[in-house]
Every structure is written in C-alpha cells, then in structure tokens.
Amino acid sequence: MHKRSSIVVGTILILVGILFLLVQFFPGLAANLDISLQWPLVIVSVGGLLILSAFLGTAALAIPGSIVAGIGSILYVQNLTGAWDSWAYVWTLIPGFAGIGVILAGLLGHQRRKSWREGSRLIVTSAVMFLIFGAFFNGLGGLGRYWPVLLIGLGLWMLLPNRKRQRSSS
C-alpha cells in the first residue's frame, strides 16, 4: 500500500511541478489559466487520481473516481457556459458515472460479466432519466413537447411479457 501511495503522490508532485515550470517559462500561460474558469478542473483531477489509483491496484476506487471526475466535468461545462440552472436535470448523469466506475472496477478486478451487467443498467437508467428530465425542464430541442411519449414507451416496455421471461431466466 505504501508503494502505491508513493506512486500517486509522486505523480501529483511531478504534474504540479511541470505546471509551475511551464508558467515560469511562458508567463502568458498564467493569464490563460484563469482560476475563476478553471477551478472545476481541480475536481476532475481528484477524480482522475482516484481512477489512477484504481489502475494501480485498488480497483474499487474507480467508482468514486468516475463519479468525482464526472461531476467535475459537469461543473466545468456549467462554469464555462453559465448554465447553472441545468442542475435541474443534469444530476441524472451521476448514476451513469457510477455505472462507468462499476464497469471499470469490474474490468480491473476481473469480474467482467457481473460488473458489465450492473454498470450498463446504471448507465441506461441514467440516460433515460436524463432524457426525461432534460425534455421536461429544458426542452432538449424539439423533444420537449414529446416527453410524455418517452414515459408511455417506458411504461409499455415495463409491461412486455418477454421482459418478465428474460428476468425469470436470469
């Protein structure tokens, strides 16, 4: 465990050192790195470090790493665009980030089949919720008027007899 933490801390120090060295050699770079716009990248970096730790041997860290990096990415886009009101529906992506982490943790931990099934369910659930909430709150282009059709389709899918047979056989 000590060796892994040394690798992660060493990598962080090298990356921060490279950043400061680049700023010293290219002073104009500091002006482009406006912290008021770039602060979500700190959150994305923390998520990236957790994912890196997952690759270095603690596979379960891929799940929180994916969630943190995903939320940081959302915050970055919102900070650049000023679309903070999109949180009304964008939060539905968080289960999808967890699903990506579950799949990645399973691949790294050698439980591919189970993690793929569970992770893909989270991703699909997240995508459906994003479409429904996005259509309801934002319109998502012309889809906003037809969001009830998504609900009807989802309800019909839930009532399909083949779906029940598939569940009982698995």
pLDDT of the residue at 13 = 75
Average pLDDT on 55-70 reads 90
pLDDT band at 167 (very low <50, low <70, confident <90, very high): low
Percentage of the chain modeled with pLDDT above 90: 26
154 φ, ψ (degrees, to nearest 5): -65, -40
State the chain's mean pLDDT as an integer.
81
The pLDDT tens digits for 126-137 are 998 888 888 777
> CB neighbours (10 Å) of residue 108?
20
Count of alpha carbons within 13 angstroms of residue 39, beta-carbon side? 6
Lookup: tokens for 23: 């700023």
